[in-house]
Amino acid sequence: MDYRVLVLALRLLLSSFMALMSGLLLWVTGAVTLVPLTSHDEAAITANLVIGAGLGAGLAGWFFGLRIGSHRGIGRYQLPVTIGTALTCAWLGQLFLANLVYANVQGIGVKTTNEVCGAFTGAVIGAMAVPLALGFWRVLRREEP
């Protein structure tokens, strides 16, 4: 039996979880250190959300999407493309997913719960796009997952 697709799915599941946790960690770190220094400027809070979610999810998606132990090297393009995709999707998620998907989410004590949920959803989707595409490409070419 061929387990390559199952291994790819498990790796992407672990990568998605780690991307979400890493994005949350960077966002909370920025909220504790950066936001008090900016006197609660709305643009700084939004930038902290997008950069924290996108950068954290992109780094974790790239790191856990690697083929650890493989004989081939990782391309130089993969890290900046993964981080750029995660940042772009975090920004788009904060803009569009907040009103489309998370319009009915009620937050307790959080002013922008919809934007937070949208940014993290977009960041994880963007961070997993590159490892998912490369993983399926390797499986289709019958290489190791």
Tell me the pLDDT tens digit for each residue of 89-135: 998 888 887 666 655 555 544 446 777 888 888 899 888 888 888 77
Q: How many CA atoms lie within 13 A of 128 on its CB side?
A: 20
Query: Could you give the residue ranges of the DSSP H alpha helices within the chain?
Result: 4-33, 42-64, 78-92, 98-100, 113-140
Q: How far apart are CA 65 and CA 52, in angstroms?
A: 19
Give CA angle at 32 (24, 35), nearest 5°.
Answer: 105
Tokens 């002013």 locate to: 111
Q: What is the pTM of this model?
A: 0.79
